[in-house]
């Protein structure tokens, strides 16, 4: 059964006064309105959220949201796949429609993080690691630092290429009113910012963020009755890599990206050459290179060239992260994968405003942990 | 006080050990202690933004060892702030790599080990 997306929304990302329950309800309500769907028509509700218990002491968020939105007695479930919880939510929502279990599925992803100190938030995220890694005080940024050093040394890539990713995504974020930062930066600023995990500096990292995003899924048949403007999930794949990061054969290959994108391309009957626009999980600048290589857009060790020659800029051959990416839009863990879906949906139905590019086919790659779990989604504009 | 790799009947080796071999799914039946061996730094970072209970800065390295003829990698803290890719290091034991009484696991520090090996440049 064809799966369609008929509505999408996101809240302002950034430092918000609202707590998780209110953030989720805000995106959820806006999505119901955007899709023109009555709450009681929703049959399945998925809530992508990594750690509301650890961050806020609030659990059972799917139940809270179902009640607050009046979608009772819909089946509800919280989806946790760490940073890729949002992508995993898209997978669950797609599955619910494709299997015939639901005819109308609402997905809402959200996280409330900024009330914690940076150290506390980093610790909650670092708790995804194996105890043999955690005891050394490893953090996700330090995995990024080690991987970036290896990549730059092995492929003789210029340090500036990473700064170019940050500059590009900040530039794109200026046109996104919901982004945490709507501010351009320069290569010099990026290269002079404080060191966080050598050789990576402050502007190589996404911020800590509160926010929520939502999407409405239904069958293609039903979508045609409801609206002229919809997108189709034509391919999706999910895969898991090692829990222990140093056990991977090649530190620069994200196995989950390779495998999940292979599945998504196969299902869609498409390849990397067919993509018009993509959202990649730029939690760290280096990840944009590893994903461009993992999804087959660039050969191993060469994706940095695309940042240098403008291929991935908004006016380039393959615009990457027109939303501003996690880098400038922000990264509320459970919301991020859904917000990627929101961006490619808006690009495909022509609702991206000043960020609009010409796109019929779009991909989103949502990475959990340091490539530990990955979901790749391909969406196409309705014919 | 061991740095222990696991090996399955098909000869695949991993550090740390797992109940089943990550390569082939067979039970890991043998273990090898490589805490007395020297290894080579594959890559490293000096992390300046560290979580509660972790030293600051925290220099970390992935080090490659030859364990019974197989390549085994391990992540660990470095005894110095700076190190070089390709440097030779040896493991030195530390009772507590980070303070278990602060941070997310403070209510249940017994849930995991806190001692382990740092890499000391030779
Ligand atoms: Zn094996």
B53–A contact, CB cutoff 8 A: yes
* End-to-end Cα separation, chain A, in angstroms: 16
* B30 CA distance to ligand 1 middle (Å): 11
Distance (Å, whole) CA B20 – CA A12: 45
Fold of A3-116+209-231: Peroxisomal Thiolase; Chain A, domain 1 (3.40.47)
What 8-state DSSP symbol labels residue B69? T
Distance (Å, whole) CA B122 – CA B119: 9
In sequence order, which residues have a C-beta less than 8 Å from that of residue A27 and are 6 or more positions away? A9, A10, A11, A108, A109, A110, A212, A213, A214, A335
Judging contacts by C-beta atoms under 8 Å, the chain A residues touching residue B60 are 136-138, 142, 146
* B8 CA distance to ligand 1 middle (Å): 5
Considering only CA atoms, give the Rg of chain B.
Answer: 15
pLDDT at B1: 64
The SS3 of residue A285 is helix
Which of A306, A295, A312, A289 has its CA nearest to residue A235?
A: A295
- B95 Cα to chain A: minimum distance (Å): 11
The CATH 3.40.47.10 portion of chain A extends over: 3-116+209-231, 130-206+236-381
Distance (Å, whole) CA A48 – CA A297: 28
The total of structural domains in chain B comes to: 1
DSSP A201-256: EGGGB----BEEEEEEEEEHHHHHHH-S--EEEEEEEEEE--SSGGGSS-TT--HH
Judging contacts by C-beta atoms under 8 Å, the chain A residues touching residue B54 are 137
Q: Which of B54, B59, B113 to mutate to test the interface with A (most CBs of A within 10 A)?
A: B54
Which of B76, B89, B85 has its CA nearest to residue B36?
A: B89
Q: Which of residues 147-166 of A touch B (CB under 8 A)?
A: 147, 149-150, 153
pLDDT at A208: 98
B25–A contact, CB cutoff 8 A: no
Find the closest chain A residue to B74 by CA distance.
A246
User: Using the beta-carbon criterion (under 8 Å), do A141 and B47 form an inter-chain contact?
Assistant: yes
Widest Cα–Cα separation across chain A: 57
- A198 Cα to chain B: minimum distance (Å): 5
Which of A374, A365, A282 has its CA nearest to residue A329?
A: A282
pLDDT at A1: 73
Query: Between B14, B51, B85, which is nearest A137 by CB?
Result: B51
Distance (Å, whole) CA B113 – CA A239: 29
Distance (Å, whole) CA A210 – CA A335: 9
Q: Which of residues 49-68 of A touch B (CB under 8 A)?
A: 54
Q: Which of A127, A141, A143, A198 to mutate to test the interface with B (most CBs of B within 10 A)?
A: A198
* B14 CA distance to ligand 1 middle (Å): 9
User: Using the beta-carbon criterion (under 8 Å), do B85 and A153 form an inter-chain contact?
Assistant: yes
Find the closest chain A residue to B111 by CA distance.
A131
Residue stretches of chain B with pLDDT short of 50: none
Neighbouring residues of the ion ligand 1, judged by CB less than 5 Å:
B 8, 10, 12, 21, 23-24
Identify the residue whose tokens are 């500096």: A201
Distance (Å, whole) CA A359 – CA A167: 23
Q: What is the percent of chain A with per-residue pLDDT over 70, rounded to a whole number?
A: 100
Domain that holds residue B20: 4-121
Instruction: Return the CATH number of A130-206+236-381, one of 3.40.1000.10, 3.40.50.2000, 3.20.20.450, 3.40.47.10.
Output: 3.40.47.10
Q: What is the overall mean pLDDT for chain A?
A: 98
Mean pLDDT for back-to-back runs of 10 residues, chain A (383 residues): 95 98 98 98 98 97 98 98 98 98 98 97 97 97 98 98 98 98 98 97 98 98 95 98 97 97 98 98 98 98 98 98 98 98 98 98 98 98 90
Structure tokens given for A311: 């291929």
A136 with B47: CB under 8 angstroms?
no
pLDDT at B68: 82
Judging contacts by C-beta atoms under 8 Å, the chain B residues touching residue A130 are 16
Distance (Å, whole) CA A331 – CA A334: 8
The predicted model scores a pTM of 0.98
Q: What is the side-by-side order of every strand in the sheet holding A44-48?
A: A75-79, A44-48, A104-111, A211-219, A3-10, A231-240, A373-381, A361-368, A277-280
A208 with A352: CB under 8 angstroms?
no
pLDDT at A167: 98
B42–A contact, CB cutoff 8 A: yes
Distance (Å, whole) CA A60 – CA A80: 12
User: Using the beta-carbon criterion (under 8 Å), do A246 and B73 form an inter-chain contact?
Assistant: yes
* pLDDT, tens digit (0-9, with 9 covering 90-100), for A169-190: 999 999 999 999 999 999 999 9
Find the closest chain A residue to B3 by CA distance.
A132
């Amino acid at each position: 059964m064809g799966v369609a997306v008929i509505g999408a929304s996101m809240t302002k990302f950034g430092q918000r006064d609202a707590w998780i329950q209110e953030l989720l309800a805000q995106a959820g309500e806006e999505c119901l309105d955007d899709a023109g769907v009555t709450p009681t028509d929703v049959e399945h509700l998925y809530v992508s959220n990594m750690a509301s218990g650890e961050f806020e002491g609030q659990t059972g968020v799917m139940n809270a949201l179902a009640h607050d939105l009046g979608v009772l007695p819909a089946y509800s479930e919280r989806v946790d796949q760490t940073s890729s919880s949002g992508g995993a939510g898209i997978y669950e929502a797609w599955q619910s429609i494709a299997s015939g279990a639901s005819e109308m599925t609402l997905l809402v992803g959200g996280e409330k993080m900024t009330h914690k100190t940076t150290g506390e938030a980093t610790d909650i995220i670092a708790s995804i690691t194996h105890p043999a890694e955690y005891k050394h005080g490893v953090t996700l940024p330090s995995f990024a630092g080690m991987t970036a050093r290896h990549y730059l040394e092995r492929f003789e890539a210029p340090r500036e290429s990473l700064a170019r990713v940050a500059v590009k995504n900040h530039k794109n974020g200026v046109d996104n009113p919901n982004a945490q930062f709507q501010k351009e930066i320069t290569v010099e600023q990026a290269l002079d910012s404080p060191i966080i995990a050598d050789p990576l500096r402050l502007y190589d990292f996404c911020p800590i963020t509160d926010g929520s995003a939502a999407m409405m899924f239904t069958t293609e048949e039903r979508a045609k009755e409801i609206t002229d403007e919809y997108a189709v999930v034509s391919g999706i794949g999910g895969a898991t890599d090692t829990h222990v990061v140093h056990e991977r054969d090649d530190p620069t290959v994200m196995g989950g990206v390779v495998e999940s994108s292979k599945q998504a391309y196969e299902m869609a009957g498409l390849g990397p050459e067919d993509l018009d626009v993509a959202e990649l999980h730029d939690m760290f600048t280096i990840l944009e290179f590893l994903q461009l290589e993992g999804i087959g857009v660039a050969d191993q060790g060469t994706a940095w060239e695309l940042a240098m020659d403008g291929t991935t800029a908004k006016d380039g051959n393959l615009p990457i992260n027109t939303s501003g990416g996690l880098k400038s839009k922000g990264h509320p863990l459970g919301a991020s994968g859904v917000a990627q879906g929101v961006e490619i949906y808006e690009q495909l139905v022509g609702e991206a405003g000043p960020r609009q590019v010409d796109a019929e086919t779009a991909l989103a790659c949502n990475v959990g942990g340091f490539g530990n779990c990955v979901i790749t989604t391909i969406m196409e504009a309705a014919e | 006080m061991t740095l222990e790799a696991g090996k399955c009947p098909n000869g695949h080796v991993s550090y740390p050990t797992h109940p089943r071999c990550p390569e082939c799914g067979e039970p890991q039946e043998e273990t090898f202690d490589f805490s007395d061996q020297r290894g080579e730094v594959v890559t490293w970072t000096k992390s300046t933004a560290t979580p509660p209970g972790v030293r600051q800065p925290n220099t970390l390295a992935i080090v490659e060892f030859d364990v019974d003829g197989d390549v085994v990698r391990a992540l660990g803290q470095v005894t110095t702030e700076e190190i070089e890719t390709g440097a030779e290091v040896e493991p030195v034991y530390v009772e507590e790599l980070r303070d278990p009484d602060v941070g997310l696991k403070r209510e249940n520090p017994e849930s995991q080990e806190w001692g382990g090996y740092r890499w000391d440049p030779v």
